[in-house]
Structure 1
Amino acid sequence: MSGGDPVAETSSGTAIGARFGTQLRQCRQAVGLSLRQLAGRVGYDYSYLSQVERGQRPGSADLARLCDRELGTGHQLTDTYAEKHRRATPVEPLPLDPLGAAWHQLTSGYGGEDAVDECGDPHSVPPGRLLPELVSELQLLQARGPEHVASQAVRATRLCVLIAETLTGLGESRGARRWWWAGRAIADDSGEGWLRSELRAAEAVSGLAERRPLPQLLELADDALALAQHGLVRPSAVLQAHAVRARVLAALGEAVEAHRALQEVLSCSDALPSASTHDLPPYQVHGLEGRVCTSLGYGTAGCLLLGRALELCPDDNLGERARLQVAQAECLALEGEVAAALALAMRVLVELPDEWHTYYLYDDADRVLSAARQREPGLLGVRDLQVLLERRAYLSGRSVGSGSWPGQ
């Protein structure tokens, strides 16, 4: 341990963190760019950049590098961020594997100052750029010490979920497993039933894409539902638990139970109070409904609900919008519109920039391919979609298509 005053070191790191945000704002204003314009150039959400400039978010080395490039500031912002990071974590130099080090430190103790996570929308950042930002958030959380463990359970758990989902999206499902484990340990230690439920429901959804054993996923879904209905009940957690349980039951061929779960999903979404929308945005509610209907073979209903979700989904959430469209393609295939389904899925894969391609997107597209093969296996588009899926841009970095994405 360092022999210095930890309070003074933390204060120094905070001051430099504020200076990074101030310097970023000054550099941006010096070249006459608005927050939205700079956000568009560097690929980050403008509300997130605003929080960085105000010192409410730590930023990341990747953000500093991109801003230096777009603002023509050489290495000024990168150097300031690096100095902030050194002051914020004075005990040891940054290890070669910051993600692994963050996991080891988190599992031995975590802390912070608030139970509310005020992060910007992670869906507006490509996964490859999101991961270092999440690690930076986690390191900042750890640097504040273990004395506020209980108050930080929500934030720490959700960071674990986001890291696990992001790693899986980048094709690192094995590496994601320990983050699911860490998130479960933190949530369970918190004693919050709804938080424990939220974690298990998220892991079960990811497990469906990973094709993990269905009995294990059903156990997770059952646990999520039991926890969501116990103690302090959050309607959004109950909805998520019913939704993933319906999808797992449908995959197991338990049609009767799956239909009952679907009715619970629809009932919960109808009763969802507007106050809970900060936990589950309306587009995600309709997306859950649509995916459950799709898993049960209700193509028309699923397509309508997914279309409503797409209307409400923010334009800058390119990955989410792409997945909703591919899910719509599966609905079209279920209704016999195989050629249209294949065309839609291929258009999304070709036009979406490579940095937004994920394992989850390819799993969705693979379901379209499977549905198309069952109905019209000899169709030329079946082979074309298969070729696109074999390229796996999120693993190889090779371009799938033009890289132009309309955003609508």
Structure 2
Amino acid sequence: MAHKPSCAARIRERAAASSWTVTDTVAEIAACCGVSLLRAHRLARGWTLRQAVAELVQLCERLGLPLPGVDEDQLAAWEKGRRPRVGTVDLLCRLYETNAQGLGVAGDYRAEAGPATAGTARPGIGSLSLPRQVVPVAAPDPFGDLVDTFRRTVEGTLASTTASATQLEVLDEQVMDLRRAYIVSPPTEMLGRLVRILEEVRLLAADRQPATVQSRLSEMIAVLATLVADALMKLGRLDQSRLWYGTARSAADDSGSGDLRARVRVQAAMLPYYYGPLERAVALTREARLLNRGRATVTGAFAAAAEARARARQGDAEGAREAIVQARELFERCPPSDETDAWAFPRRRLLFYLSGAHTALGDLREARRVQQEALALYVGDSGIDPALLALEEAMCLVQERSVTEACELAAHTFLTVPEEYRTEILGVRAQEVIAILPAQVRSSRAVRDLGELLALPTSRM
């Protein structure tokens, strides 16, 4: 039985990493996936049946050749063993730059073999190194024929799209499913699921699409890349997280959505907020607030709340309190958010951010009130956010000089979080409970016990 296209995608990745030739890539796909050489040529380029037919049509238009009348069903039948006519074999040889033997089924158009790259076209794969136009020798007006042929090519390019409305709807549904799953699933599990859908969106975005479709695909990439970056941050894979946040920002900028551009920057500020430098977190949240332009949106409330806690940790009490007021005002003017959507900003998330701000400011009474209200909204959730709230409660206890109680709460919180959620970000935040303690009490038994617990590998807890 033939393997799924995902198997060929993995082979293309190996081909890119090892600088295989296209011929080697085709041979490996045919052997591993159990498909014909004709189909292996298509899969080696990462084309769907629709994309391959579109490429063939464009090739004929560029060369001034009659259209073969090929559709997806016919191409699929040929890939399964039905032999096309001689003239069509010649076109397929031109399309895949090989000969009939290379297709396993007339013409030889092999280019000099070079490294194959996954997801990118080299001359002869995505953009064939063939004459752009063919002018008949006997044409009475070669320039006029050339202009007309080129006009038809341009119109065909503008009309071409490989993403149907149904495909986009299905992808939208899959992205929404992942946004909901992200709330209740550990980051290690989510990474694989996110990357799989992200690759499907990327393959469509790599082809020429109408502006509205391309913008929609860029929005999907921005959301998925942000969630990937967030999962990597929670796992402590900081360099990878930073790069993915950069990818998310590029996609958001490409989408043209001001709200999305702001939202991705707020999300990206979490990395420097937890791991430093704080100046970067403040800059990103400030930039998001400027992009929001004071509008009453959940993104605006999110940006203000994130800036408030970053400025509070930085020691800018005035700036933090100003941002807290704006966050609350904007949030109250927004419609309620969905608590089951990782891309939403419901009340419990607002309170989570305000807890960080009030704790850092030393507003202990307000911090405790916000923490308790937030934890009540997280009832039944054993994920990372409730644990971070409990650790901020421990920091309040430190400021109240209840050292033993603070360390015991931090240790209890860390131990009771399910192992799949006991990630690097919790360890970093629990270490801060120790870091803010006065030096003279760090030798106490409770502090030593907490430090030893945090030093243990997760599997031994």
- TM-score normalised by length of structure 2: 0.59
Structure 1 residue 381, shift from structure 2 partner: 1.1
Equivalent position to 2:168, from 113, 117, 124: 113
Write the mapping of 1:30-109 to structure 2, written as runs, cut at 5 A.
Answer: none
Counterpart contact for 2:253–2:261, Cα < 8 Å: yes
Q: What are the superposed Cα offsets for residues 97-143 of structure 1, whole Å, 9 maximum, x if unpaired? A: xxxx8999xxxxx9861567412230311111111111112123234
Match of 1:139 in 2: 199
Write the mapping of 1:221-232 to structure 2, written as runs, cut at 5 A.
Answer: 221-229=285-293
Secondary structure (helix, strand or coil) at the match of 1:330 reads: helix
Q: Which runs of 5+ in 2 are unaligned?
A: 1-40, 53-71, 74-117, 122-161
Write the mapping of 1:6-405 to structure 2, written as runs, cut at 5 A.
Answer: 6-7=49-50, 113-114=168-169, 117-119=175-177, 120-145=180-205, 146=207, 147=209, 148-212=213-277, 214-229=278-293, 233=295, 235-274=297-336, 279-313=344-378, 315-373=380-438, 376-391=441-456, 393=458, 398-400=459-461
Q: Which runs of 5+ in 1 are unaligned?
A: 13-100, 105-109, 401-408
Q: CA RMSD in A?
A: 3.1
Structure 1 residue 314, shift from structure 2 partner: 5.4
Secondary structure (helix, strand or coil) at the match of 1:274 reads: coil
Q: What are the superposed Cα offsets for residues 373-396 of structure 1, whole Å, 9 maximum, x if unpaired? A: 468434321111111222353xxx
Counterpart contact for 1:238–1:268, Cα < 8 Å: yes
> Paired residues, what number?
300
Secondary structure (helix, strand or coil) at the match of 2:436 reads: helix
In structure 2, the CA distance between the partners of 1:229 and 1:392, relative to structure 1 (3 Å rule), is farther
Match of 1:59 in 2: none
In structure 2, the CA distance between the partners of 1:170 and 1:302, relative to structure 1 (3 Å rule), is same
**Distance in 2 of aligned mates of 1:128 and 1:103:** 28
Structure 1 residue 295, shift from structure 2 partner: 2.0
Q: What are the superposed Cα offsets for residues 345-376 of structure 1, whole Å, 9 maximum, x if unpaired? A: 10121222321111221222122222334684
**Distance in 2 of aligned mates of 1:312 and 1:255:** 27
Secondary structure (helix, strand or coil) at the match of 1:2 reads: helix
Structure 1 residue 5, shift from structure 2 partner: 5.8
Match of 2:109 in 1: none
Counterpart contact for 1:249–1:258, Cα < 8 Å: yes
Q: What are the superposed Cα offsets for residues 300-342 of structure 1, whole Å, 9 maximum, x if unpaired? A: 2112212211111252442222222222222222233322221
Match of 2:42 in 1: 2
**Distance in 1 of aligned mates of 2:242 and 2:196:** 20
**Distance in 2 of aligned mates of 1:141 and 1:304:** 43
In structure 2, the CA distance between the partners of 1:123 and 1:374, relative to structure 1 (3 Å rule), is farther
Which structure is higher in RCO with an 8 Å CA cutoff and minimum separation 6? 1
Counterpart contact for 1:161–1:180, Cα < 8 Å: yes
**Distance in 1 of aligned mates of 2:293 and 2:449:** 46
**Distance in 2 of aligned mates of 1:261 and 1:392:** 39
Amino acid at match of 2:328: L
**Distance in 1 of aligned mates of 2:249 and 2:234:** 19
In structure 2, the CA distance between the partners of 1:253 and 1:124, relative to structure 1 (3 Å rule), is same
- Runs of 4 or more, structure 1, over 6 Å off, are 101-104
Q: Which has the larger radius of gyration?
A: 2
Residue identity over aligned pairs, in percent, reads: 23
Q: What are the superposed Cα offsets for residues 233-262 of structure 1, whole Å, 9 maximum, x if unpaired? A: 452111111122122222332222222222
Amino acid at match of 2:290: A
Amino acid at match of 1:257: G
Q: 358-367 vs 177-186, which deviates more? A: 358-367
In structure 2, the CA distance between the partners of 1:7 and 1:304, relative to structure 1 (3 Å rule), is same
Match of 2:57 in 1: none
**Distance in 2 of aligned mates of 1:210 and 1:306:** 22
**Distance in 2 of aligned mates of 1:380 and 1:102:** 56
Amino acid at match of 1:2: R
**Distance in 2 of aligned mates of 1:388 and 1:272:** 43
Q: What are the superposed Cα offsets for residues 34-62 of structure 1, whole Å, 9 maximum, x if unpaired? A: xxxxxxxxxxxxxxxxxxxxxxxxxxxxx
In structure 2, the CA distance between the partners of 1:140 and 1:149, relative to structure 1 (3 Å rule), is same
**Distance in 2 of aligned mates of 1:192 and 1:317:** 34
Amino acid at match of 1:225: R
